[in-house]
Structure 1
């Protein structure tokens, strides 16, 4: 168990995750009417995809630095 092994604990000290830039500003806005238009839907989909990309990049960086199991 690593928490009982001082050497294993020291080997992880000071390790940082590589920087991941912030997600871009949201482009979607509230729907103008009761039913969203295709353009409104596409803007929301683009925002969700951008967040998904950033989230996956953060997870990958955490795995690389050893903060998250592969």
Structure 2
């Protein structure tokens, strides 16, 4: 039990996770009409892909830092 044994508690501490930068500002805007244009859709898709990439980098950092299970 780590709280009774300080050395065992330190052994279970995770190492610092690598820093992950903040996500960039969104480039998509509200659709001008009732149906989005291809450009509006593409901007939203690019933002979604960028956020997915950022989330995956954050999860990889947390796993490497033993903060979450691999």
The answer to whether TM tops 0.5 is yes
Aligned length: 66
Residues 34 and 49 from structure 1, CA distance in 2 versus in 1: closer, same or farther, beyond 3 angstroms?
A: same
Separation of aligned partners in 2, 1:43 and 1:32: 13
Structure 1: give runs of 5+ residues left out of the alignment.
none
Deviation (angstroms), 1:41: 0.3
Separation of aligned partners in 2, 1:37 and 1:8: 59
Q: Post-superposition, which runs of at least 4 consecutive aligned residues in structure 1 deviate over 2 A?
A: 4-9
The TM-score with structure 1 as length reference comes to 0.86
Structure that is richer in helix per residue? 1
Deviation string 1:11-67 (CA, Å, 9 cap, x unpaired) is 216x32100011111000000000000000000000000000000000000000100
Q: How much is the aligned-residue C-alpha RMSD, in angstroms?
A: 1.3
Alignment of 1:1-70 (within 5 A): 4-5=1-2, 6=5, 7-11=7-11, 12=13, 15-70=15-70
